């Protein structure tokens, strides 16, 4: 009897003696490689964002480049983004460096130096976006989806041209993976529904400093139908023959953008494809875009994407539907933050903050590549607010 009892006890102990891997806190010291900055001035400090891939916990800290300090982190696998913003002689720079899937654990606290590069702030940036619909007049439930617009502003000191610039919605980098189709997929961002392009020979649509242009889903006076605004002075609209053929959509006098890619047709009543949330990128393609039917299939079957070089992206923004930053679609090198409106149908817009004014009074918009910091939500959408100029060639009113 005793033997049996002792044998059973021993068996229980053997079975229960499993390897235990309890988590621990780790002292971690970031290391930054500034060799790629060239003549660009070094910033005094960086903002470091560490995102734990496993728990989705995000921590931000300011890192003094001259006297680097350590940070206490829960061991894990992290994506790390290093950012800074600086100016030199009136030129604005964004500094960014990323390191993905970095293992930080008790035996592995050293990190390969994170290489930081600097780029001048883009001339064209999103200034205001209205994306989450409004309500049909005298209706408690009917949402109006056709009043989406993007206002794009020339935040630089030089005249630039809108010809050939594209607008598309970006697939979530967390959900869709193309690495088995594209060896250097990390250098690309992938569009998921439509890509619209501004037509022109290259110099048809100049945008002077302090001027903006508006891309509307439909350049009409929506205030006649819904609790929203008049977009009849928009410069461009996303309407094409396909939608005209389907009827019910007037073709206003705004310049029609070209639907250059239909990656996935949207059933929504909005020519831009998405309205409640999404990530959007404004880009100027340096290489020809793929044609319909040639798009890459992601890791999820029958879900395709159009690759666009990250270096072609002029500006990108993450617009969320929920408070959950895990829904963020863009990688942090394109947009380190996100923003959301309070409710779908609330007729709200997201507006970029003003960081200063030029001598002529025109505004300088804040551009740190972090939407959370750069944008705010407005409950009264308005195009060309704060005295923004219209382009010289945009002198019509498009109302029918």
Contact residues toward other proteins (CB under 8 A) are: 1, 4-5, 8, 11-12, 15-16, 18, 20-25, 53-58, 74-77, 101, 103, 105, 175-177, 179-180, 185, 267-268, 298-300, 303, 322-324, 326-327
Residue 75 has which token pair? 């061991």
Among 300, 236, 319, 302, smallest CA distance to 263 is for 302
Q: Min. distance of Cβ 59 from other proteins in angstroms?
A: 8
Closer by beta carbon to other proteins, 12 or else 88: 12
Among 250, 132, 244, 257, smallest CA distance to 195 is for 257
Closer by beta carbon to other proteins, 93 or else 131: 131
Q: Three-class SS of residue 17? A: coil
Closer by beta carbon to other proteins, 21 or else 246: 21
Which neighbouring-strand residues pair with 105?
108
Q: Min. distance of Cβ 188 from other proteins in angstroms?
A: 14
Q: Min. distance of Cβ 391 from other proteins in angstroms?
A: 37
User: Going by C-beta distance under 8 Å and a sequence separation of 6 or more, which residues neighbour residue 159?
Assistant: 206, 207, 208, 209
Closer by beta carbon to other proteins, 139 or else 324: 324
Q: Min. distance of Cβ 334 from other proteins in angstroms?
A: 19
Pair 332, 310: CB distance under 8 Å? no
C-alpha 211/C-alpha 358 separation (Å) is: 13
Closer by beta carbon to other proteins, 134 or else 173: 173
Closer by beta carbon to other proteins, 163 or else 327: 327
Which residue reads 């010289």 in tokens? Answer: 392
Q: Min. distance of Cβ 215 from other proteins in angstroms?
A: 24
| Number of other CB atoms surrounding residue 79 within 10 Å | 17
Which residue reads 């728990």 in tokens? Answer: 55
Among 353, 87, 364, smallest CA distance to 209 is for 364
Burial of 261 (0-12, 13-18, 19+ CB in 10 A): buried
Pair 353, 375: CB distance under 8 Å? yes
Q: Min. distance of Cβ 377 from other proteins in angstroms?
A: 18
Among 101, 107, 97, 100, smallest CA distance to 27 is for 107
Closer by beta carbon to other proteins, 100 or else 258: 100
């Amino acid at each position: 009897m005793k033997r049996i009892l002792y044998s059973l006890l021993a068996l229980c102990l053997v079975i229960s003696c499993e390897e235990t891997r309890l988590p621990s806190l780790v002292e971690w010291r970031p290391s930054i490689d500034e060799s790629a900055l060239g003549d660009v001035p070094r910033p005094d400090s960086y903002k470091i964002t560490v995102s734990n891939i496993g728990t989705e916990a995000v921590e931000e800290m300011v890192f003094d480049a001259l006297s680097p300090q350590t940070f206490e982190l829960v061991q894990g696998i992290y994506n790390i983004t290093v950012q800074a913003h600086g100016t030199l002689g009136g030129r604005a720079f964004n500094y960014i460096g990323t390191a993905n899937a970095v293992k930080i654990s008790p035996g592995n606290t050293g990190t390969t130096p994170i290489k930081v590069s600097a780029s001048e702030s883009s001339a064209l940036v999103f200034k205001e976006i209205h994306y989450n619909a409004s309500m049909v007049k005298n209706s408690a439930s009917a949402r109006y989806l056709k009043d989406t617009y993007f206002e794009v502003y020339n935040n630089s000191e030089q005249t630039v041209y809108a010809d050939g610039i594209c607008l598309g919605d970006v697939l979530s980098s967390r959900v869709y993976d193309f690495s088995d189709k594209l060896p250097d997929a990390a250098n690309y961002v992938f569009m998921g529904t439509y890509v619209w392009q501004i037509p022109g020979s290259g110099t048809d649509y100049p945008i002077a400093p302090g001027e903006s242009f508006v891309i509307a889903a439909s350049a009409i006076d929506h205030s006649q139908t819904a609790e929203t605004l008049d977009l009849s002075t928009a410069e461009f609209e996303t309407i094409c023959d396909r939608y005209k053929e389907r009827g019910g959509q007037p073709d206003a006098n705004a310049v029609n953008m070209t639907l250059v890619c239909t990656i996935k047709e949207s059933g929504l009543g909005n020519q831009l494809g998405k309205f409640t949330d999404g990530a959007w990128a404004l880009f100027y393609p340096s290489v020809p875009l793929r044609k319909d039917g040639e798009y890459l299939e992601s890791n999820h079957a029958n879900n395709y994407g159009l690759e666009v070089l990250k270096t072609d992206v002029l500006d990108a923004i993450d617009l969320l539907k929920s408070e959950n930053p895990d829904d963020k679609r863009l990688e942090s090198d394109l947009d380190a933050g996100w923003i959301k409106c309070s409710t779908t149908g609330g007729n709200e817009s997201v507006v970029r903050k003003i960081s200063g004014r030029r001598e002529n009074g025109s505004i300088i918009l804040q551009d740190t590549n972090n939407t959370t910091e750069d944008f705010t939500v407005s409950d009264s959408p308005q195009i060309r607010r704060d005295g923004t100029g219209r382009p010289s060639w945009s002198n019509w009113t498009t109302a029918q």
